[in-house]
Amino acid sequence: MKILLIGSGGREHALAWKMAQSPLVSKLYCTPGNAGIAAVAERLSFAVEEEEAILHWLQAHPVDLVVIGPEGPLVSGLSDRLRQLGVAVFAPSQAAAAIEGSKVFMKDLCARHGVATADYQVFQEVSAALAYLRKQGAPIVVKASGLAAGKGAIVCQTLQEAEDAVQRIMVAKEFGAAGDHVVIEGFLRGEELSFLALVDGEYVLPLAGSQDHKAVGEGDTGANTGGMGAYSPAPVLTPALEERILQEVIYPIVRGMAAEGYPYRGVLYAGLMIDGDAIQVLEFNARFGDPETQPLLLRMRSDLVPLLLACANGSLQGMQIAWDPRPALCVCMVAGGYPGKYAKGQVITGLPQSHQQSDLQVFHAGTEQQADHIVTAGGRVLGVTALGESVADAQKRAYAAVESIHWQDLYYRRDIGYRAIAREQQS
Ligand code: AMP
Ligand code: GLY
């Protein structure tokens, strides 16, 4: 079968790498892809936003499945337009993708179905937002309501930081129109968990647990990014906790969305805060996590393609996923300055011939081929991902590969997985 994958990040390289291994796949296209994806798929030149051009191309080049990676086209409704053309698509509808695209929609959905999230208020006016902040005090979390590439949530330890955050989102419009509304929510303590599940509208098949590091700085400090590293499994996720998450979060949302007329199809990503017995939803994403997908797919032993097709076709019931029991850990190598301003076009050296190894993969994100060189082309550049006998071993192996790779303004965190490793050392 032929598949078209849409996207260009580390998540998409991992998806392409995994799908290319499927005996079911005769041809894999990816648009626009990156320099790493070029090794496993034929790249097309359409940007993710060029939906008309993509639809036009598909009419001349029919495929059996379209897989949408990033949130932009989910929220803009590309999947609906593809379904109208009769194309099988792994992605939620536009209506269902609002679970990620609008924090207000997400919060109201949770409230209707009894799913716990932080207390919140939404504001359109700066003065009302500031008055509310002064009443609530810090710590507190200020978020742009719309899509902001993972960077729109500002965790504020002081009132001053919170007031600045409102200015940045609503006045300086750092996140563009995503900041027309601001969501101010209570600060939650605990340990974060990324809980992803495949959903076919009705049936749910959970993936292994994972955790990512959102903050740019070591010790999880500094600005939020799209993610600086991730690992799977998540030691915090016991079988008992998994069952509770399904019963208290995933099933109520999936049943509720179906009952309200927008059944969820695709991968549902619940960003959870676990604090003792309390499970609270921080966010939902309507797509695979980036970088969580990189360690998850390195561990996945099953063929991914039948799973994606089953989500698209509503036939997930009875399917299972086999996982490598070994942990996998991904270190994101980013352009210095990210998530703020950063340079592009810097030559990357020392890339290992990782396609020959099954337990170490260098997934590309912002990279491009330029003559004989691979150059940086985005904030997150590479996701170096390794399997190991323990999280500590996977970490050691990932960093050994990281240290061989260079470009001018390179940055990465040196502590990815520290919480999981501390737990390993305790047990
Ligand atoms: P979001 O984009 O809403 O997922 O937020 C991004 C990150 O900000 C989360 O992964 C958390 O690390 C942090 N965060 C968001 N909301 C809260 C909250 N209510 N309490 C504490 N941390 C939060
Ligand atoms: N790693 C967080 C996300 O994909 O949103």
Is residue 24 predicted with pLDDT exceeding 70?
Answer: yes
Which numeric CATH code is attached to 328-426? 3.90.600.10
Q: Which residue has the tokens 């792994």?
A: 90
- Is-contact 224 149, C-beta < 8 A? no
pLDDT, mean of residues 220-249: 96
> What is the C-alpha to C-alpha distance for residues 193 and 196, in angstroms, rounded to an integer?
10
Closest ligand 2 atom to 287 CA: 4
Q: Which atom of ligand 2 is nearest to the CA of 227?
A: 1
Instruction: Determine the pLDDT at residue 103.
Output: 83
Q: How many CA atoms lie within 13 A of 309 on its CB side?
A: 14
pLDDT at 290 over 90: yes
**What number is the average pLDDT over the span 217-244?**
95
Ligand 1 pocket, residue 141 CB under 6 Å:
yes
Q: What pLDDT is attached to residue 56?
A: 97
Residue 97 has pLDDT above 80, yes or no: yes
What is the C-alpha to C-alpha distance for residues 420 and 234, in angstroms, rounded to an integer?
7
- The pLDDT value given to residue 354: 54
pLDDT per position as a tens digit, 156-188: 999 999 999 999 998 888 877 766 889 899 999
Map out the domains of the chain as residue ranges. 2-96, 119-186, 189-313, 328-426
**CATH code 3.40.50.300 for 2-96:** no
Residue type for position 275: D
d(CA 38, CA 327): 27
Report d(CA 97, CA 99) in Å as an integer. Answer: 5
**pLDDT of amino acid 358:** 76
Is residue 100 a contact partner of residue 106, using CB atoms and an 8 Å limit?
Answer: yes
Give per-residue pLDDT as tens, 328-359. Answer: 999 999 999 999 999 999 999 999 775 557 79
CATH class label, 189-313: alpha beta
pLDDT in the model for residue 170:
85
In this prediction, what percent of the chain has a pLDDT beyond 90? Answer: 87
Distance separating alpha carbons of residues 263 and 92, to the nearest angstrom: 8
| Residues 35-62 pLDDT 10s | 999 999 999 999 999 999 999 999 999 9
What the block records as the tokens of 421 is 């490793």
- Residue whose CB lies within 8 A of the most ligand 1 atoms, among 274, 283, 284, 287, for a mutation test: 283
Ligand 2 centre from 120 Cα, in Å?
A: 21
In this structure, the dihedral spanned by the alpha carbons of residues 335, 8, 272 and 331, taken in order and rounded to 10 degrees, is: -40
Average pLDDT, the chain: 94
> Which CATH number is 119-186's, of 2.170.120.12, 3.10.180.10, 3.40.50.970, 3.30.1490.20?
3.30.1490.20
Give the closest residue to 204 by CA, choosing from 266, 256, 260: 266
Q: Ligand 2 centre and the CA of 289: distance in Å?
A: 4
What pLDDT does residue 144 have? 85
Q: Which of 155, 193, 275, 292 to mutate to test the pocket of ligand 1 (most atoms within 8 A of CB)?
A: 155
Tell me the per-residue pLDDT of 381-409, one tens digit each, with 9 for 90 and over. Answer: 999 999 999 999 999 999 999 999 999 99
CA of 282 to the centre of ligand 1 (A): 6
Model pLDDT for residues 104-156, shown as the tens digit of each residue: 899 999 999 999 999 999 999 889 899 999 999 999 999 987 676 656 788 99
Residues 6+ apart with CB under 8 A from 349: 405, 406, 407
